[in-house]
Amino acid sequence: MALTNETIQRKLTEKFSDQLIDWKEPYGMLTFTAPKDLNLKVLQYLFDDEELKFRFLTDLQAVHYPDRKGEELAVVYHLHNLVDNIRIRFKIYADIEKPDVFSATALYQAANVMERETYDFFGVNFVGHPNLKRILNVDEMDYFPMRKQYPVEDQLRIDKDDEMFGR
């Protein structure tokens, strides 16, 4: 029997009841939101369950939502079941003041570099990561460049003609 989004949602709901929310299927990919403290339990269940078999971490990244107070940073996991060729996405949200999220490196080796990059650009602190330090930016950087905390362009530039940019 082929694995379907309905089966995945049913099994996750049976295991975690109403703790998983915001179920959607954009472009056919099952997507849901989990509480921040459950990320490892959800990942472990998806990995270990003999019917689900999500044993490949395709991607892990973050998104900054500055208007969502208390959950400004979203960490997004993309998982792939290679046997049934099905993908899912799930998100967790963290407070930007204390962006601590449990590391998935013990379960997925690929998470090592992805978590370092997410830390480097968004400042998500992956608790339990074996070597959480900057990977692409210089160590002296005291900010996280992908956060939406800075203007997109320098407002003081005088070498730009606003008419050329439709303003």
Instruction: Report pLDDT digits (tens) over 128-161.
Output: 999 999 999 999 999 899 998 876 666 676 676 6
Q: In degrees to the nearest 10, what's the CA dihedral of 92, 93, 97, 102?
A: -10
The pLDDT mean for the chain works out to 92
CATH of domain 5-151: 3.30.460.80
Percent over 70 (pLDDT), the chain: 90
CA distance 96 to 15: 29
Given a cut of 70, whether residue 166 has pLDDT beyond it is no
Tokens of 92: 């967790």
> Which amino acid appears at position 158 of this protein?
I
Query: Which one-letter DSSP state was computed for residue 148?
Result: S
Residue 5 vs residues 43, 81, 91, 127: alpha-carbon distances, Å? 16, 12, 16, 30
| Digit-coded pLDDT (tens) for 47-92 | 999 999 999 999 999 999 999 999 999 999 999 999 999 999 999 9
pTM of the model: 0.88
CA distance 102 to 116: 13
Helix (H, G, I), strand (E, B) or coil at 51: coil
